[in-house]
Structure 1
């Protein structure tokens, strides 16, 4: 009778452990395929789950729209010799007499090292008077001063030069070799040459973005596009601000991948297969290649195109499914573009969860047997 009671107690404990394992959650990296599909609008959720195919790939192939407006593109090259209000000029005047108007008895040359162009664009030169400098080149100003002075001193010789660092300039900031104010001079009137003058960019060219701010407008381009399309190598203007910064787009990788982390973009465009490779690929011992998902909030325009509808309004929750085991699965993953803030998630293979369940159950049964054995010993 006691032996029968012991067997009953042991069986009850084993069943208790089994039911306990069945009711509790096992360790895992995230939701299963079944649970993700349960979130579909066709079931209990609010997300549209779509299998990736060439039509879906084409509808979702949206890359950041960067470029310059027509006002930037059509701006002509600034003449670096044109004088502007605020410039500082250096003047040297030679007179062909021993006792000249300006030189006096100590020498035939007179230097005026810092002549400021006022807000109205004028400078003052003794005996020549008030002269319009802004809008003229140094050569034109030289002729004007010469004509003014030759009425009072024989054969005057005049040199006019813009002082170094003055004149039209731009501010270059961000990831460049030398940040700061840079003058617009003959060799660096365009964007690419100005970046070179500032020491070049100090980040990877593929992910470098160039922003130019001009007055109340701004434009942004990829660094490499400046050389691929010469129109984007725009002429600069006085007061422009040039900012060089790294692409800030990222995606998140989760599940049965080599890494579970937030990942920055390493190029202008990145495909799903490249994103998987970037985080170490699929975990060979646990990943389910039929369950590669991309979670995204999709604008209504794209969501309608993907779903063949026209009634959706506002951002829509979309889950794109890639099955790498299908005949064209790898090609679809190669062509499907990952976008900023996407979440790439790879589910675990069914047998992995089954193995976890069996291992946990066997471990639980061993514990139950030990407990039952101890109870039997106490009962005996």
Structure 2
């Protein structure tokens, strides 16, 4: 019997030692070089986070100005004054009436662009009798007047007509999420942003039409095609100039994260019309009514990039690391507030668990350990009876 007791004790001890080898992977910090964190401690971090209860007043403050239909008088004036200016690579068609010997006939098989006067790299064309004519940077009216003045020395009252047969010197570029990206020629017909997008075949389904960029002379301005095309705000339209780059980005950055006590935590894409807090919650099946704390619907909005920018150049302005907006939907009518709260890219929507749910999870984790100790105690009592 003593031998059996010793064998049982040995078996139990071995089992306890084996319990130290917990299943699953683990990353131990004991043998590694842990770099000291020079950032602020947790207390200081918490002090740099602002929490705002969501109310109708706050939502009205945060709401962005609505886009409305309106005209663009400045653009209209630009279009009325617009004149194309000749550049190197263009082809001019010059006609001298009643003097066919000076007008090169296009013929049956030659187009005007093939038989016209090519503007050379130095910005000039050659024309009989008057030689080189500087045309770069001039309108066709100015070119016609100069040629008429110079030809008057050789022809009595010359009637000169000048037009551009091929526009090749000036281009703008449309890139990104459009059906046909590429270059578009600047011609004698003014080209606006809306015209260029339509010529490019319109926007793709993955286009972020709220953050279109127009780069001109190294300076970038952000425009909203949503306001222009969906709301009729013509103030977002622009007259394009040579060398302009219009870029329509993908909507990859237009995403929010919904986590916590919801039916289906996941990443959501903000569509072209935007996304409200209530839309995000409905997009994941709503909150988990049995586990969630209805008073703890949080939207976490990072300000870290702004904090880094304000800290450059020795600036000591204290910027909140994050803003947290709390919605209490214990009364479901408060979801109306959520419908007016517009989410921004990379917002985190987090639904907390109810206190009783958290306690139940702790108990659930403790139960296996308690059961194990109970079984172990019963085994020791059996051994004593031997």
Alignment TM class, shorter chain as reference: 0.5 to 0.7
Cα offset, 1:272, TM superposition: 1.6
Contact 1:93 1:110 in 2 (8 A): no
Counterpart secondary structure, 2:364: helix
Counterpart secondary structure, 2:205: coil
How high is the TM-score relative to the length of structure 1? 0.67
Counterpart secondary structure, 1:337: coil
Match of 1:330 in 2: 335
Supply the distance in 2 between the matched residues of 1:80 and 1:357 (Cα, whole angstroms): 74
- 1:54 matched to 2:53? The reply is no
Q: In structure 2, do the counterparts of structure 1 residues 276 and 173 end up closer, same or farther at CA, with 3 Å as the change threshold?
A: same
Contact 1:96 1:154 in 2 (8 A): no
How high is the TM-score relative to the length of structure 2? 0.66
Q: Which residue, out of 293, 296, 306, partners 2:298? A: 293
Q: In structure 2, do the counterparts of structure 1 residues 244 and 172 end up closer, same or farther at CA, with 3 Å as the change threshold?
A: same
Select between 88-97 and 367-376 the one with higher mean Cα deviation.
Answer: 88-97
Match of 1:241 in 2: 245
- 1:279 matched to 2:246? The reply is no
Counterpart secondary structure, 2:339: helix
- 1:232 matched to 2:264? The reply is no
Counterpart secondary structure, 1:270: coil
Match of 1:270 in 2: 275
Q: In structure 2, do the counterparts of structure 1 residues 116 and 193 end up closer, same or farther at CA, with 3 Å as the change threshold?
A: same
Counterpart secondary structure, 2:79: coil
Spell out the pairing of 1:127-276 with structure 2 (5 A cutoff). 127-134=129-136, 136-138=138-140, 141=143, 160-185=162-187, 189-203=191-205, 207-227=209-229, 228-247=232-251, 248-267=253-272, 269-276=274-281
Cα offset, 1:52, TM superposition: 1.8
- CA deviation profile, 1:97-150 (whole Å, cap 9, x unmatched): 99x5787xxxxx998736343566432212232234345555764676577668
Cα offset, 1:187, TM superposition: 5.5
Cα offset, 1:207, TM superposition: 4.2
Counterpart secondary structure, 2:249: strand
Match of 2:351 in 1: 346
Contact 2:176 2:250 in 1 (8 A): no
- 1:125 matched to 2:127? The reply is yes
Q: In structure 2, do the counterparts of structure 1 residues 52 and 113 end up closer, same or farther at CA, with 3 Å as the change threshold?
A: same
RMSD: 4.4
Cα offset, 1:317, TM superposition: 3.9
When you count strand as a share of all residues, which structure comes out higher? 1
Cα offset, 1:313, TM superposition: 4.3
How many corresponding residue pairs? 321
Cα offset, 1:87, TM superposition: 3.6
Supply the distance in 1 between the matched residues of 2:323 and 2:212 (Cα, whole angstroms): 32
Q: In structure 2, do the counterparts of structure 1 residues 347 and 220 end up closer, same or farther at CA, with 3 Å as the change threshold?
A: same
Contact 2:63 2:341 in 1 (8 A): yes
Select between 290-299 and 367-376 the one with higher mean Cα deviation.
Answer: 290-299
Contact 2:258 2:266 in 1 (8 A): yes
Q: In structure 2, do the counterparts of structure 1 residues 40 and 289 end up closer, same or farther at CA, with 3 Å as the change threshold?
A: farther
Cα offset, 1:54, TM superposition: 1.9
Supply the distance in 1 between the matched residues of 2:97 and 2:377 (Cα, whole angstroms): 120
Match of 1:86 in 2: 88
Structure 2: tracts of 5 or more residues without a match: 1-41, 105-109, 305-316
Q: In structure 2, do the counterparts of structure 1 residues 95 and 319 end up closer, same or farther at CA, with 3 Å as the change threshold?
A: closer
Cα offset, 1:226, TM superposition: 1.7
